A and B are shown apart, each in its own frame.
Chain A
Amino acid sequence: MTIERKRWAQRAQALRLEQLAAIRSRAEQWRNGLVGLTALLGVAAVVKGPEVAADLSADARSTVVNLMTGAFAALVTGSLLAMFAAFGVPGRKQLMTGEALQVWEEREAAKARAAVLAGALVFLGGLVLVGLATRHAALSPGKPDNVISVKARGDVICGSLVSGTDRLRIKRRTEVGSPVVTNVPFAQISELALVEDCPRP
């Protein structure tokens, strides 16, 4: 045994008094990381988001937007939790005795640890949602081209325009199975409009 062991013991004793400072500084690093990542993903979503969304069908777009909204709520919550851990929130008034300070520091350190952990987990959840949104956007069928809505003999027919030489040939989605092509003679058409997407059959 050497004097080094005593020095380590002295350091360990000193550390007892610095628990809160240690967890606060760790939380600060977490905050920097989480805020940076949130900003990065936010910028990417703002720049590329509208472009990607424009190519999606209405259903897919709504799912992706919902997922992304959830993801950003989680990312911002995670960042805020890490901030609370790093800086704390104002507490109640108390008499600053050594004992009160010790209790307060221990309690704050425990709260900060919990906030960092919760922040990291919520942030992770946000990243998972971003991943799901990206996956959904990539795998969803794109918006159909030349979508028209036609009113013929009181019926509304919505679908993609296939051809229109002597009559309109419209490809419609069906509840089950593959799309069907409907022929609508020009004479029967009372109204025709270009639409973004058709309602679900």
Chain B
Amino acid sequence: MSEPGHDRNLAYAEVDLGAKSDFRMTRADDGSIRFAGNCPRCHGETTMLFSVVRGDRLGSAQKALRRLARRRREPALSKPATMYCECGAGHQRPTTASDAGCGAYWTVTP
């Protein structure tokens, strides 16, 4: 897959790029939110899915009952969310890194 402008040889570095607004946000039927765009550092295509996880809501019976009583509502993304590059290129990534990009991270807001 060729991506014009994607600097695949850029060395891995965990650089904070601050807030970014040029990412497309889409919401899936299950309420999860996907941000897609190009990494501001290496310019590779990257996406991140913020899915709805309900497991922790069962922490207490009170919360569970409140959840039952309340109409099902999708959670909103009210604060900026941190996203990191997952472009998939090598970027001389250290073996200890658990991400799959150039290491850069930034925040996105809906």
Binding site for B on A (CB under 8 A): 1-3, 5-6, 8-10, 12-16, 19, 22-23, 26, 109, 113, 116-117, 120, 124
A3 and B55: CB pair below 8 A? no
Question: Which residues on A sit within 8 Å (CB–CB) of B18?
Answer: 1
11 A–B pairs (Cβ distance < 8 Å), ordered by A: A1-B18, A8-B82, A9-B81, A9-B82, A9-B105, A16-B53, A26-B55, A109-B55, A113-B55, A113-B58, A124-B61
Question: What is the interface of chain A mostly: helix, strand, loop, or mixed?
Answer: helix
Of residues 54 through 69 on chain B, the ones whose CB sits less than 8 Å from some CB of chain A are 54-56, 58, 61, 64, 68
CB distance from A107 to the nearest CB of B (A): 12
Interface stretch of the complex, out of B1-9, B43-51, B70-78, B88-96:
B43-51
CB distance from B1 to the nearest CB of A (A): 19
Question: Which residues on B sit within 8 Å (CB–CB) of A22?
Answer: 55-56
Question: Which residues on A sit within 8 Å (CB–CB) of B50?
Answer: 12
Chain B interface bracket (under 10, 10 to 19, 20 to 34, 35 or more): 20 to 34
Question: Which residues on A sit within 8 Å (CB–CB) of B64?
Answer: 117, 120
A23 and B84: CB pair below 8 A? no
The contact of B53 among A3, A5, A10, A15, by CB within 8 Å, is: A15
A23 and B55: CB pair below 8 A? yes
A106 to B58, CA, bound (A): 16
B48 and A6: CB pair below 8 A? no
A100 to B49, CA, bound (A): 18
Binding site for A on B (CB under 8 A): 14, 16, 18, 48-51, 53-56, 58, 61, 64, 68, 81-84, 98-99, 105, 107
- Nearest residue (CB) in A for B54 is A113
A109 to B57, CA, bound (A): 13
A3 to B51, CA, bound (A): 22
CB distance from A170 to the nearest CB of B (A): 54
CB distance from A63 to the nearest CB of B (A): 29
A124 to B61, CA, bound (A): 10
- Nearest residue (CB) in A for B106 is A1
A72 to B64, CA, bound (A): 24
A23 and B98: CB pair below 8 A? no
Using A3-B16, A22-B56 as known contacts, list a sample of 7 further A-B pairs with CB atoms less than 8 Å apart, ordered by residue number in A.
A3-B14, A6-B84, A6-B105, A12-B50, A13-B48, A16-B49, A16-B51
The contact of B16 among A1, A14, A120, by CB within 8 Å, is: A1
- Nearest residue (CB) in B for A6 is B105
A113 to B56, CA, bound (A): 10
B58 and A5: CB pair below 8 A? no
A26 to B59, CA, bound (A): 8
